[in-house]
Copies of this chain bind each other. A is one copy, B any other.
Amino acid sequence: MSRRRAFFISDRTGLTSESMGEALLDQFEGVQFKRVTYPFVDTVEKAHAMVQIINNAAEQEAQRPLVFTSIIDPDIRKIVQSSVGLNLSFFDAFLHLLEKELGVKARNSIGKLHSITDTDRYDARMEAVNFSLNHDDGISAKDLETADVILMGVSRSGKTPTCLYLALQYGIRAANYPLTPDDLESTDLPRMVKPFKNKLFGLTIQPERLQEIRQERRPDSRYSNINTCKSEVNDAQAMFRRHNIAFTNTTHKSVEELAVSIMQACNLKRRF
């Protein structure tokens, strides 16, 4: 199998160049990529050092490296692009098109997206994270009132990471309601969440996968028994259907996919 170095280089965190690069590399089977990310390449010196690193890599390999860049400063970008690698810069690909379309010159400097005074964003995020954390094990009626969405599901169906991701990525206050055996026996909705039916969203999971996850936590217990898992999942799904609660199966979904699906289904808007 052929093998290629892939550099993700940015004068910021590198998250954009990584996600763009990964999405592209993912389209090529039969090539093995050796990835490395260089964030905060934000000075002329670091840019020159980067060129050296890329050129050295090129000498060691049969083929030139792929260089995905997300560098705002045009001077630094130009230096990095003087390496022998294949340059894939999304600023170069799109910035001129946008300048022409908007009739405005790009400012070519690091801007408000990663701004210094963006305390509002931090506050919204922190508030949502604290909301999630405070309610992870026990929840009050008041909490449910202030929640943007309430995720319901059996223990280990994926509620916690999804709530945290919604908080960190979108500032969404997601509450976590674990369905207890008592809840599952009833044909009614749990008393606590009943007044907030319009905020409920259900998570379900394949019983086999649930068993696997629970087994890690409490091996060979009633909790992790396949029959317990099957019956809990069955009861939970029956509850969602009976009360017309939208739900999704988490088994084959990433946390990102779950979060975005929930935002879409519940018509939630990011808070920052």
Contacts and interface: CB of A to CB of B under 8 A. Distances in A.
Interface of A: 2, 4, 12-16, 19-20, 22-31, 39-40, 66, 70, 72, 86, 88, 90-91, 93-95, 97-98, 101-102, 104, 106-108, 111-114, 116-119, 121-122, 125-126, 129-130, 133, 136, 160-161, 164-165, 168, 209, 212-213, 252, 254-257, 259-261, 264
Counting every copy of the chain, the complex holds: 2
Nearest to A108: B27
Contacts of A119: 209, 212
22 contacts: A2-B102, A13-B256, A19-B20, A22-B113, A23-B91, A24-B91, A24-B95, A25-B98, A26-B111, A26-B112, A27-B72, A27-B111, A28-B106, A39-B260, A40-B261, A88-B98, A93-B94, A117-B252, A119-B209, A133-B133, A161-B168, A168-B168
Contacts of A23: 16, 70, 72, 90-91, 113
A268 to B, nearest CB: 12
A17 to B, nearest CB: 9
